[in-house]
Structure 1
Amino acid sequence: MLSVRGLTKSYGDRRVLAGVDLDVAPGELVVLLGANGSGKSTTLRCAVGLTTPDAGEITADRPAMIFQQIHLVRRRSVLDNVCAGGLAGLPPSRSLVPALFPKSLREKAMTCLSRVGMADRAADRAGGLSGGQQQRVAIARALCQGSTILLADEPVSALDPAAATQVMTLLAELAHTDGLAVAAVLHQPDLARRHADRIIGLLHGRITLSAKASEISEEDIAALYAPDRDAA
């Protein structure tokens, strides 16, 4: 389970998070919505340890992060890229050369590729895949870390509608079928309402909306993206 309490973060005089409380349970897909600068991505980055909060408590069991920029090694095979997710448990002498990856790691990586529907592309170069396929490989790489919490920061913003739907369907399946706790930042309210179990809305670094996706109205969404009256 991911549990965040009283999360605050400022950059200079700019307050990005102002006391955020967030829970994501195993088996649940939570989507964070909000305008640019509302604190969505900073919340996830603090949860995974990429950004240090100013205050607050975070409980996260083996989180892994998926990004908008997928960061695969394009010249390496799909399988080698997924194996990279499990390198933390290897000695340095075996983690730098793919030919020295142990059989057990390769088998685990293939299992993860099968889970995301990409096992048939294991030998292909990652750079030859479509954007949606690359994102599914990135998800497999996160699974190869043995993570129980999956955090996705705008994972479909660069994808076409069909690929975006495939990725969001996969994230929902990983929550509902595999029991992972999944949180995703999106800029597409329609995808959030179709795939999420719960939607969290942030405005000026505070949670102003938290409800089941089926209970979210168009007015609720509009309020999150209203022009900033304080900007003037």
Structure 2
Amino acid sequence: MGNALSVKGLRKSFGDRTVLNGVDFEVRAGELVVLLGANGSGKSTALRCVVGLAEADAGEITVHSGRAAMVFQQIHLVRRRNVIDNVCAGGLAGLPLSRSLTPALFPRDLREKAMACLDRVGLADRARDRAASLSGGQQQRVAVARALCQGAEVLLADEPVSALDPAAATQVMELLVELAHRDGLAVAAVLHQPDLARRHADRVIGLLHGEIRLTTPAAELSDVDIDALYAPDRVPA
């Protein structure tokens, strides 16, 4: 499949600190790409620039079809609301202001779409439960459903499993794989777990000091590659 997201020459600084220095990458429809790198390497900033949460200083960002939506390490559900209301929030941008102020006014077609998105992530049976009653992994799957309710064709995930136990992390990563391979979304995820990248990603992009240092099929990611990204100044024994 063709590119769903293209990023060219992306640059971003915060004051005197350069966070992204001419970054180029693409994500194809039907592909899960993982961005790896140490803290401060620019991974999360790159995704935030794609969705407009950070303004790039230079470069070109193109979402070729549909729209991009993002899920975060901090899941940002309204915990006192029920699950389906949280998912409906993903579709509020298409409503008149008067219909978006309270869940009681959400139209039926939005609720039907939200229910379909919940079914897609395996949580339709929890639609009426309060978000606070769900486990961390379930809450992250609700956040993915909310992104799907936005009509996302490009799904970005910023450390989506860092706060989850291993079993829940695996479930979320398997869902991201399914959304790419079965549903044809372009999925890009920032991770700090190279083993999860090897197991679940199609391709890995490695960043160091704001620059891309490697792009490789996940199955070919080596321990030497990982050391180069996470311990570049370590002197071999």
Q: Which structure 2 residues correspond to residues 93-104 of structure 1 after superposition, within 5 A? A: 93-104=98-109
CA displacement, residues 170-226 of structure 1 (integer Å, 9 cap, x when unaligned): 001000000000000000000011000000000000000101001111111111001
Aligned letter for 1:79? I
Give runs of aligned pairs for residues 43-192 of structure 1, distance below 5 A: 43-60=46-63, 61=65, 62-192=67-197
C-alpha change, 1:228 and 1:17, in structure 2 (3 Å) is farther
Q: Distance in 1 between matches of 2:94 and 2:219?
A: 41
Give distance in 2, aligned partners of 1:20 and 1:97: 41
Q: Of the candidates 186, 210, 228, which is equivalent to residue 215 of structure 2?
A: 210
Q: Is residue 22 of structure 1 aligned with residue 25 of structure 2?
A: yes
Query: What's the CA shift for 1:97?
Result: 1.0
Q: Are 1:7 and 2:10 matched, yes or no?
A: yes
Question: What do residues 107-148 of structure 1 show as CA deviations (whole Å, max 9, x unaligned)?
Answer: 000000000000000000001100000000000000000010
Name the SS for the 2:79 alignment partner. coil
Secondary structure of the structure 2 residue equivalent to 1:148: strand
Distance 2:151 2:122 in 1: 18
Kindly tell me the number of residue pairs found equivalent between the two proteins: 229
Residue number among 199, 204, 209 corresponding to 2:204 in the alignment? 199
Equivalent residue letter for 2:88: C
Name the CA distance, whole Å, in 2 between partners of 1:130 and 1:24. 30
Match of 1:37 among 35, 40, 57: 40
1:226 aligns with 2:231: yes
TM-score using structure 2 length: 0.95
RMSD between superposed Cα atoms in Å = 0.8
Deviations 1:135-164 (A, max 9, x none): 000000000000100000000000000000
In structure 2, list runs of 5 or more residues that go unmatched: none
Distance 1:9 1:66 in 2: 21
Unaligned stretches of 5+ in structure 1? none
Q: Deviations over 1:59-117 (max 9, x none)?
A: 02400010000000000000000000001111111101101111100000000000000
What amino acid does structure 2 have at the position aligned with 1:8? R
Deviations 1:25-63 (A, max 9, x none): 000000000000000000000111110111000002400
CA distance in 2, matches of 1:227, 1:198: 21
